[in-house]
Amino acid sequence: MVSFRSDMAKKIIRIVLAISLLWLVQRARAFDTNVFLNGWFAAQTKLHTLTADFVQTRTLKTLTVPLTARGRLYFAAPGSFRWELGQPARTIALGQKDEMYVIYPMLKRAEHYALGEKAPKDWRDAMALLQAGFPHSRAEFEGQFQILALAETNGVCQMSLQPRSSFARQMMPELRLAVATNDFSLRTTELVIVDGSNLRNDFSNIVMNPPLGEDVFHWQPPADFKVTEPFAK
């Protein structure tokens, strides 16, 4: 069991690093945090689909120059997502309902993961990190994260979050999120990895509620792809 949890932790860190997410925090003047949070959660009920470009920056202690890559995000409520990293895409994370694929097109390889109630609780807790920028409700969000700091500067609310799950904290002790105060759009995400590295995404060209075909979130493995299930027992 210990070996399984260790392997799971390593795999989750690699997946999140590959497909990206989360947060930025700065000291700034205080503002009415409760009003902002109520507005942000209310805005999520009007968000049905979203597309955005992003630049991902990974900072490592062993590198003097950060690594950067461009990508594309597609999202559909309540929980369908497609993260494409690289142009052309080197890694694609495709998730909806009870399953997720992590696809490596150039290697003709993919990994399949169970989501929802079919997945181990530790895995579900870790996956919650991937959708922290699109909360379903305030109760669900506060059940998953503790808000360490929240402040506004130059029209952007900056949050520092800590996962409540002890398993998730062992991998990512802090998540940072920047949200525009005028339209509650996601601007920046950053996650702090336990080894001291950071992964930041800066979003641009955000389009809310565009029409998206169902094929955006569906993928049928080609015959020449090798598909594995890393957490299958």
pLDDT at 25: 28
What local confidence, expressed as pLDDT, does residue 21 receive? Answer: 40
Q: How many CB atoms lie within 10 A of CB 152?
A: 17
Distance CA 117, CA 49 (A): 24
Query: Closest Cα partner for 104 from 116, 117, 93, 95?
Result: 93
Q: Which tokens go with 113? A: 């993961």
pLDDT above 90 for 23: no
The domain made up of 2-228 has a fold known as outer membrane lipoprotein receptor (LolB), chain A (2.50.20)
Q: What are phi and psi of 105, to 5 degrees?
A: -55, -40
Q: Which residue has the tokens 């497909």?
A: 19
Average pLDDT over residues 47-53: 92
Residue ranges of domains in the chain:
2-228
Q: 179 falls in which pLDDT band (50, 70, 90)?
A: very high
pTM (predicted TM-score): 0.78
First to last CA, the chain: 11
> Of 12-21, 22-31, 224-233, where does mean pLDDT reach its minimum?
22-31
> Of residues 113 and 130, which shows the higher confidence score?
113
pLDDT of residue 20: 44
More confident residue, 198 or 120: 198
Range 90-116 average pLDDT:
89
* Mean pLDDT calculated for residue range 82-100: 89
